[in-house]
Amino acid sequence: MCGIVGIVAKSNVNQTIFDALTVLQHRGQDAGGMVTCEADRFFMRKDNGLVNEVFRTRHMKRLLGNMGIGHVRYPTAGSSSSAEAQPFYVNAPYGIALAHNGNLTNTADLREQMRKENLRHINTTSDSEVLLNILAHELQQIGKLVPTADDIFTAVKAVHKRCTGGYAVVAVITGYGIVAFRDPHGIRPLVYGQRETADGLEYMVASESVALDISGFTLVRDIEPGEAIFISQEGEVRTLQCAESAQLHPCLFEYVYLARPDSIIDEINVYKSRMRMGVKLAEKVVRERPDHDIDVIIPIPDTSRTSALEMAHHLGVKFREGFIKNRYIGRTFIMPGQTQRAKSVRRKLNPIELEFKDRVVMLVDDSIVRGTTSKQIVQMARQMGAKKVYFASAAPAVRYPNVYGIDMPSVTELIAHGRTDDEVGEEIGADWMLYQDLDDLKDCLLAGNSSLKGFDASVFDGQYITGDIDDAYLQRIDDERNDSAKGGSKKSTTNQNADLHATIS
């Protein structure tokens, strides 16, 4: 999970990109980066840290130009070193900088192709650098001094043929414009919008519509799966379907957890979809325990609040805020390392005793991945004097690894894998474990966009829509990216890209 943004404007874009990245910060808290373009020169700054830590006034002053791209990341494929921070840059052809959200599933094969056939060196472990070099190679094959929009679309078509997985990409080509595109399944989100100024129209592409809202851009539409958009430096816009076979299968986890509630993704209002998730949970409570004894429903801040409120309303049960969140602690399930996650839970949430004491409490969370947070929260509720502690998840049980850009690759770290719902409840210490049904979750989204034909539900049902995932692949990424592997990789972290605020020319 990462956040990307690209802008073509009539004046300097550094501040607008900064603002967009701050509202996409929930998509990645490990590193941030920005590349701007003025005439035929790039200016870059990227480093580990939050957006407001990476970009200081001295850096912003150097980020000149009326077009540029930005990125926030957490480590999925690649380490958490600053060497992996995006955007990545190549100087041939033209000069291209690229940022990417998602994960390629044939990276190993592509690396070999790059080395043996295309004679290109990949300097990091990031699949984003692989994707950049493929795009650069395909553009170079066209062999034109001045590429047209059609030439760029031809290169994107070749990228789609070579790459598999889930990806949303934005790239800036020195002196020409910005190109953005989405994988043929539309697994990861991408939207574009425009705003009117005295000098003419300006354009933005971004992971979520909220990035457009913050800077006064009006959402035009989602980029379709397999589609590419090219915005020239002069502000001319072209779009083209670049995949031979494209069908929208958005990631269900985007709506459950990843996206901000004030975003609209693939015509689905995320806030409304989460309201419907709460209604479905309430209906399941009534089906399974019509004579339930729930005294109070308490959300686990923040993502589950919308679902919990609707659940309480439809059950006629009190809704209370039982936990106060420290907003300066990051999202725990994406933290690198079980020890770090466990230590962060108590620092992140503090319970209010009067909301728990002598009550039967239903805790509601958006999902349960590793179970670290859930187990400690149940313990907190009991310590506060709860008579019984029930636990509801607005998502179905996460039983399978994600391979399309969310950091849950190791099946051994998923608490629900190989366990029944009751066994998960026992493991986290809950008296009753309630999961959302997968069909109910899909219905919540179809109510917002009935034209959808399917979803990426792989973390729930183990069905990988790209068709290239087998047990050997899952074992390989488990070995490469489980907690013990991450712990070892951090020892070799370098800081070679920590201060790339100098001009690249």
Query: Looking at residues 179-191, what average pLDDT do you find?
Result: 98
Q: What is the rounded distance in angstroms from the CA atom of residue 325 to the CA atom of residue 402?
A: 27
Closest CA to 439 of 249, 300, 280, 294: 280
Mention every residue, 6+ apart, whose C-beta is less than 8 A from residue 335. 341, 344
Tokens of 496: 């070679």
Q: What is the DSSP letter of 468?
A: -
Task: Indicate the fold that domain 3-247 takes in CATH.
Answer: Glutamine Phosphoribosylpyrophosphate, subunit 1, domain 1 (3.60.20)
Q: Residue 80's pLDDT is what?
A: 53
Q: Residue 409's pLDDT is what?
A: 62
For the domain spanning 274-326+345-449, the CATH number is 3.40.50.2020
Q: Would you say residue 488 has pLDDT above 50?
A: no
Where are any strands of DSSP class E within 242-295?
264-265, 268-269
Q: Beginning with the edge strand found earlier in the chain, give each strand of the sheet holding 88-90 in spatial order.
A: 88-90, 96-104, 165-173, 177-182, 227-232, 237-241
Q: Would you say residue 164 has pLDDT above 70?
A: yes
Q: Which residues are annotated as a binding site for Mg(2+)?
A: 303, 365-366
* Contact predicate 452/445, CB 8 Å: yes
- By annotation, the residues acting in catalysis are 2
Residue that the structure tokens 């929260």 belong to: 377
Q: What is the rounded distance in angstroms from the CA atom of residue 94 to the CA atom of residue 175?
A: 8
**Residue 10 burial (10 A CB sphere; 0-12, 13-18, 19+):** middle
Q: Would you say residue 497 has pLDDT above 70?
A: no
Q: Which residue has the higher pLDDT, 418 or 334?
A: 418
Q: Residue 428's pLDDT is what?
A: 98
Render pLDDT for 18-30 as a digit per residue (tens, 0 to 9). 999 999 999 999 9
Confidence band (pLDDT; 50, 70, 90) for 386? Answer: very high
Render pLDDT for 337-349 as a digit per residue (tens, 0 to 9). 555 555 567 788 9
Q: Residue 74's pLDDT is what?
A: 80
| Pairing verdict, β 177-182 and 191-197 | unpaired
Q: Would you say residue 486 has pLDDT above 80?
A: no
Q: What is the rounded distance in angstroms from the CA atom of residue 441 to the CA atom of residue 283?
A: 12
Query: Looking at residues 179-192, what average pLDDT do you find?
Result: 98
Domain boundaries, the chain: 3-247, 274-326+345-449
Query: Looking at residues 141-168, what average pLDDT do you find?
Result: 96
Q: Would you say residue 490 has pLDDT above 50?
A: no
For the chain, what's the residue count? 505
Render pLDDT for 10-56 as a digit per residue (tens, 0 to 9). 999 999 999 999 999 999 999 999 999 998 899 999 999 999 999 99
Intrachain domains 3-247 and 274-326+345-449 with the same fold: no
